[in-house]
Amino acid sequence: MEDSDQPAPQVDDDRFRRLIDVGSNLLSELDLEAVLQSVVEAARELTGARYAALGVLDRERRELERFINVGIDEETRRQIGNLPRGRGILGELIREPVPLRLRDINEHPHAYGYPPGHPPMHSFLGVPIAVRGEIYGNLYMTEKQGADEFDEPDEEAALTLATWAGIAIENARLYTSLSEREAQVEKAKPLRKKVASTALRAVPTSRVAVPVETRTGDTLAARADDLSTAGGPPRDRIRP
C-alpha cells in the first residue's frame, strides 16, 4: 500500500479530550502572561516532551525577544545564562515557519550546539504560532519521553494547541488594550473636571448673557416707573 492510501494518524481519544479542555481554558484566560505559561505547560504534557518552550518573536520577526520554558530547574537556568535568541534549529522556524520534527537535533546541519550547563537534547518538535495571520512565535518541544522521537500525532496535537494559542493570545491582547484605554479615561476624568471649572471661573460676570425675557421685562418696568413719576403721559397724546 502506498503512503497516500494510508489513513492520516489521529490524535488518540484521551489526548483529543485533553486538547478540548486546554482550548476551553485558554480561551477563558484574559491575562497574556498566564496564557503563554499555560500554552508551554500544555505543549509539554500533550506531546510527552521532557522540555518545552515558547519563543516570542520581536517586531521585525528576526529573532526571539522572549523565551518561556518549562522542564529546566532554576539552578540549570542560572548555569545556562542568557536565553536563546533564535540561532541554530530555533532559527529554522523563524526563517521557515512550518512544522519541524527531528529524530536527533544534533544531526541537523544548522545545529548550533549548547552553552555550558545545558542539558543534552535529541528529539525535537517545533510548530509556529500565528495570530491573525502573522507569526507571533514558535512552540519548541524536545526529548520525547518513552520514545526515540516525536510522531505525527504529537505534531497534530502541537498544531492544534498552536491554533488555540493564537486565538487566546489575540483575545488577551485585545482585553489588555481595552483595559488600558478604560484606565486612561478614568485617569483623565479629574483633569477634565478641573479644566472645566477653571474655564468657568475665567469668564467675566459682566459678559454672562442675560435671557432676553429678563432684559425686556426689566426695561418695561423701568419705563413704567418713569411714567408714574412724571404723572403719566402728556394729555395731548391721549386720544378719546
Q: How far is CA 1 from the centre of its chain?
A: 47
Is 222 domain-assigned?
A: no
What is the reported pLDDT for 225? 53
What is the reported pLDDT for 70? 95
Three-state DSSP class for 60?
Answer: coil
DSSP 8-state code for residue 207: G
**Cell triple for 59:** 517586531
Radius of gyration of the chain (CA): 37
Is 1 domain-assigned?
A: no
Three-state DSSP class for 150?
Answer: coil
Is 135 domain-assigned?
A: yes
**Cell triple for 175:** 482585553
Helices 152-202, 32-47: inter-axial angle, 10-degree rounding:
180
Is 51 domain-assigned?
A: yes
Q: How many domains does the chain have?
A: 1
Is 59 domain-assigned?
A: yes
What range defines the domain where residue 38 resides?
Answer: 11-175
Task: Give the CATH number, domain containing residue 113.
Answer: 3.30.450.40
Residue 121 · residue 143 · CB < 8 Å:
yes
Is 186 domain-assigned?
A: no
Backbone angles phi, psi at 24, to 5 degrees: -60, -45
In tens digits, the chain (240 residues) has pLDDT values of 444 455 555 678 899 999 999 999 999 999 999 999 999 999 999 999 999 999 999 999 899 999 999 999 888 888 888 888 888 899 999 999 999 999 999 999 888 778 788 898 999 999 999 999 999 999 999 999 999 999 999 999 999 999 999 999 999 999 988 877 777 777 776 766 666 666 666 666 555 454 544 444 454 445 545 544 544 444 444 344
Residue 116 · residue 142 · CB < 8 Å:
no
Is 193 domain-assigned?
A: no
HSE, CB side, 13 Å, CA atoms: give it for residue 87. Answer: 9
What is the reported pLDDT for 216? 47
Is 17 domain-assigned?
A: yes
